[in-house]
A and B are shown apart, each in its own frame.
Chain A
Amino acid sequence: MTQAPRDIEVLIDLMAKLPGLGPRSARRAVLHLVKKRGALLSPMADAMQTVAATARECVECGNIGTADTCAICSDPKRANGEICVVEDVADLWAMERAQVFQGRYHVLGGTLSALDAVGPDELRIPKLMSRIASDGISEVILALNATIDGQTTVHYIADQLENSGVRMTSLAQGVPIGGELDYLDDGTISAALKARKSL
């Protein structure tokens, strides 16, 4: 089988390590980039170099930014006493896209998993506790995924804050906007019914 030149093969191998891309889709993407190297590959390489040089984790919340403290943590208007705990930076960005939450975030960087040797110290949980104690936090919103590990982490944090006087909430679970009941699984319908609200 004829292979691409070695440099391009290296690029394909690197691209195939990205989430959502396999060897074939990586090959297609690289071929597309090479064909459009003036319009796409060179600007992308420049952008990647810049991001590699400037991107860093916010020392406060774990968000990705270009300064030691991210734009959200630096903004005094976001210090409204609410902190939203998420698993990953992608979840933070998803929340920000919705433009409804006006408080600050805390990115755990995963969920508790004894089997994978991921404990509280690996998850920035001690940092969360110190922020809650020192930042005048009145409400902690636990926006973690509804997986077993996610829910174990919710219980863990809630247990630690039980006597702190801080209000603890979690995201509602149920019918998505635009969703039809007929297409929902039993667990979602059950959760939606339990969390029903008065009109």
Chain B
Amino acid sequence: MPDLSVQSLTLSHFRSHKVLRLKVDARPVAIFGENGAGKTNILEALSLLSPGRGLRRATAEEIMRRPEQLGWKVHANLNSLGQSETIDTWAEPGHTRQVRINEKSATQVTLGRIVRVLWLVPSMDRLWIEGAEGRRRFLDRMTLSFEPGHADATLTYEKAMRERNRLLKDQVRDPHWYRALEQKMAETGAIIQQNRQAAIDALGQAQEQSETLFPAATLSLQHANDLPILTDSAELLAALSDNRPRDLAAGRTLVGPHRVDLNAIYATKNIAAKECSTGEQKALLVSLILANGRALIQSFGAAPLLLLDEVAAHLDDNRRAALYNEICALGGQAWMTGTEKRLFETLDDRAQYIKISDQGGESTMEMLQ
């Protein structure tokens, strides 16, 4: 039995699901149904068992089922590292998301102690060819899976940076105010960079230790304008201070972890990920997610919940079968979606199947044997 698995899930007024009650075992879960039936909504609900705004980056307001707009709730029973845990997360209209763990109020960051969740969604298919922001978010998501405290550092850094950017935009010249904010940015920025580097090292090791049909990616970090990446808070503080005149001219902060990009090289072909074919780019992403899962077994003690939306897209039959074998070998609970059941046929009875349909704007569910 995997050391981390969802045993039951209840959704209430969550997007297309008025009420959904699921009981599953620890095997992978294949969810299929037509476009717009509500498959991804289930993955999104599961993604909210981790800190943040979930796989769609939606606000609590956007998740509410229309037209009722009564708020929404996700209730999950899990087995985590040998313990039974209950997580409730919900939002009422006009309020932010709340979390309760085992019926006690908790912060979102606390969720990281119980659950680690990784996801792959179709919008990430263009990750290697689009702007650096998406790759940074992908990297931070992976980093967060190793180090839940990464979220705190990132939030504090971004808040201080937004304050500093406002000063820059308003052409404020008060050096004391800048130094106060830069100190906070340097403290947290150094932690962010150290966490990211540790995550990249762990992913590299996990890829080296396992041979799969998926290509290994050599990862590295690169600062915009080829500036050095600073992991020491004193050096980062000095860089922010030195760069202040240029930042004032630009009206924003030009150095720091928010300007760092994730580079990936298709290791065996030695070509940049953005130069690879669409299928190869997807395979690189899958490879990283699987490596992340393997590395988490070492650091967290269990394989994470994997949420793989439309995972079969862009993968040929061989790679698809290889992916399913990898997922089963990983031993974690994967939740996958696809438009047809036959996309999962090589999984056979290694998985459990759920059919989702749309009936008059409301999702309905059928568990298949």
Contact surface of A with B, Cβ cutoff 8 Å: 112-115, 119-120, 148, 151-156, 159-160, 185-187
Which B residues lie within 8 Å of A119 (CB)?
172, 174, 177
Contact A114 B172 (CB under 8 A): yes
State in angstroms the CA–CA spacing of A185 and B172 once bound together: 37
Nearest residue, chain B, Cβ from A161: B176
Which A residues lie within 8 Å of B149 (CB)?
186
Contact surface of B with A, Cβ cutoff 8 Å: 107, 110, 149, 152, 156, 159-160, 162-164, 166-167, 170, 172, 174, 176-177, 179-181, 183-184
Q: Which of B162, B180, B184 contacts A159 (CB 8 A)?
A: B180
State in angstroms the CA–CA spacing of A153 and B160 once bound together: 12
Nearest residue, chain A, Cβ from B176: A159
Which A residues lie within 8 Å of B163 (CB)?
112-115, 152
Contact A112 B162 (CB under 8 A): no
**A113-B163, A185-B107, A185-B110 given. 17 additional CB < 8 A pairs?**
A112-B180, A114-B163, A114-B177, A119-B174, A120-B177, A148-B159, A148-B160, A148-B184, A152-B181, A152-B184, A153-B180, A156-B179, A156-B180, A159-B179, A159-B180, A160-B176, A187-B152
State in angstroms the CA–CA spacing of A156 and B162 once bound together: 17
Contact B164 A114 (CB under 8 A): yes
Contact B174 A120 (CB under 8 A): yes
State in angstroms the CA–CA spacing of A119 and B162 once bound together: 15
Question: Taking the nearest CB of chain A, how far is it from the CB of B102, in angstroms?
Answer: 13
Question: Taking the nearest CB of chain A, how far is it from the CB of B309, in angstroms?
Answer: 32
Question: Taking the nearest CB of chain B, how far is it from the CB of A92, in angstroms?
Answer: 23
State in angstroms the CA–CA spacing of A36 and B201 once bound together: 70
Question: Taking the nearest CB of chain A, how far is it from the CB of B300, in angstroms?
Answer: 16
Which A residues lie within 8 Å of B184 (CB)?
148, 151-152, 155
Which A residues lie within 8 Å of B176 (CB)?
120, 156, 159-160
State in angstroms the CA–CA spacing of A186 and B109 once bound together: 11
State in angstroms the CA–CA spacing of A3 and B159 once bound together: 44
State in angstroms the CA–CA spacing of A112 and B156 once bound together: 15
Contact A152 B180 (CB under 8 A): yes
State in angstroms the CA–CA spacing of A93 and B339 once bound together: 63
State in angstroms the CA–CA spacing of A120 and B174 once bound together: 9
Nearest residue, chain A, Cβ from B179: A159
Q: Which of A114, A155, A185 contacts B183 (CB 8 A)?
A: A155
Question: Taking the nearest CB of chain B, how far is it from the CB of A150, in angstroms?
Answer: 11
Nearest residue, chain A, Cβ from B174: A120
Question: Taking the nearest CB of chain A, how far is it from the CB of B109, in angstroms?
Answer: 9
State in angstroms the CA–CA spacing of A113 and B177 once bound together: 10
Given contacts A148-B159, A148-B160, A186-B149, contact A114 B180 (CB under 8 A): no
Q: List 26 A-B contacts (CB under 8 A).
A: A112-B177, A114-B163, A114-B164, A114-B166, A114-B167, A114-B170, A114-B181, A115-B162, A115-B166, A119-B177, A120-B174, A120-B176, A148-B156, A151-B184, A152-B181, A152-B184, A154-B180, A155-B181, A156-B176, A156-B179, A156-B180, A159-B179, A160-B176, A185-B107, A185-B110, A187-B152
State in angstroms the CA–CA spacing of A151 and B183 once bound together: 10
Which B residues lie within 8 Å of A151 (CB)?
184
Which A residues lie within 8 Å of B166 (CB)?
114-115
